[in-house]
Amino acid sequence: MSTHATQSLDARGLNCPLPILRTKKALSSMGTGETLAITSTDPGSLKDMQAFCKQTGHELVSSSTNQGEFEFLIRRA
Protein backbone atom coordinates (compact mmCIF):
# COMPACT_ATOMS: atom_id res chain seq x y z
CA MET A 1 0.00 0.00 0.00
CA SER A 2 1.10 3.53 -0.69
CA THR A 3 2.12 5.92 2.07
CA HIS A 4 1.05 8.89 -0.03
CA ALA A 5 -1.78 10.78 1.66
CA THR A 6 -5.19 10.51 0.02
CA GLN A 7 -6.43 13.51 2.04
CA SER A 8 -4.91 16.04 4.40
CA LEU A 9 -6.19 17.75 7.53
CA ASP A 10 -4.84 21.00 8.94
CA ALA A 11 -5.49 20.95 12.70
CA ARG A 12 -2.97 23.67 13.56
CA GLY A 13 -4.17 26.02 16.28
CA LEU A 14 -6.77 23.55 17.56
CA ASN A 15 -6.57 22.19 21.10
CA CYS A 16 -7.66 18.82 22.46
CA PRO A 17 -10.04 17.22 21.64
CA LEU A 18 -10.56 19.00 18.30
CA PRO A 19 -7.64 17.43 16.37
CA ILE A 20 -8.95 13.94 17.20
CA LEU A 21 -12.56 14.85 16.46
CA ARG A 22 -11.63 16.33 13.08
CA THR A 23 -9.46 13.29 12.33
CA LYS A 24 -12.34 10.94 13.18
CA LYS A 25 -14.71 12.91 10.94
CA ALA A 26 -12.26 12.96 8.02
CA LEU A 27 -11.55 9.24 8.28
CA SER A 28 -15.27 8.40 8.37
CA SER A 29 -15.67 9.78 4.85
CA MET A 30 -12.69 7.83 3.48
CA GLY A 31 -12.43 4.30 2.12
CA THR A 32 -10.51 1.41 3.65
CA GLY A 33 -6.77 1.69 2.96
CA GLU A 34 -6.86 5.40 2.17
CA THR A 35 -4.47 7.61 4.12
CA LEU A 36 -4.94 10.88 5.96
CA ALA A 37 -2.11 13.32 6.69
CA ILE A 38 -2.71 15.46 9.77
CA THR A 39 -0.76 18.51 10.93
CA SER A 40 -1.33 19.68 14.51
CA THR A 41 0.26 22.13 16.93
CA ASP A 42 -1.29 20.54 20.04
CA PRO A 43 1.46 18.66 21.96
CA GLY A 44 -1.19 16.33 23.37
CA SER A 45 -1.92 15.04 19.88
CA LEU A 46 1.19 12.82 20.04
CA LYS A 47 -0.35 10.52 22.63
CA ASP A 48 -3.91 11.17 21.45
CA MET A 49 -3.29 9.95 17.88
CA GLN A 50 -1.54 6.80 19.13
CA ALA A 51 -4.42 6.02 21.50
CA PHE A 52 -7.03 6.86 18.84
CA CYS A 53 -5.46 4.45 16.34
CA LYS A 54 -5.11 1.70 18.93
CA GLN A 55 -8.78 2.04 19.93
CA THR A 56 -10.19 2.29 16.40
CA GLY A 57 -7.92 -0.14 14.57
CA HIS A 58 -6.61 2.46 12.12
CA GLU A 59 -2.89 2.27 11.37
CA LEU A 60 -0.60 5.08 12.51
CA VAL A 61 1.80 4.84 9.57
CA SER A 62 4.09 7.63 10.78
CA SER A 63 4.37 10.50 13.22
CA SER A 64 6.98 13.23 13.37
CA THR A 65 7.70 16.59 14.94
CA ASN A 66 8.85 19.51 12.84
CA GLN A 67 9.44 22.98 14.37
CA GLY A 68 6.58 22.77 16.85
CA GLU A 69 4.20 21.01 14.46
CA PHE A 70 3.19 17.39 14.76
CA GLU A 71 2.61 15.44 11.57
CA PHE A 72 0.77 12.14 11.37
CA LEU A 73 -0.13 9.74 8.59
CA ILE A 74 -3.02 7.41 9.35
CA ARG A 75 -4.30 4.58 7.15
CA ARG A 76 -8.02 3.89 7.50
CA ALA A 77 -8.91 0.38 8.62
| Residues taking part in catalysis | 16
CB 36 within 8 A of CB 76: yes
- Report which of 45, 47, 36 is spatially closest to residue 74, judged by C-alpha positions: 36
Q: What is the DSSP letter of 4?
A: S
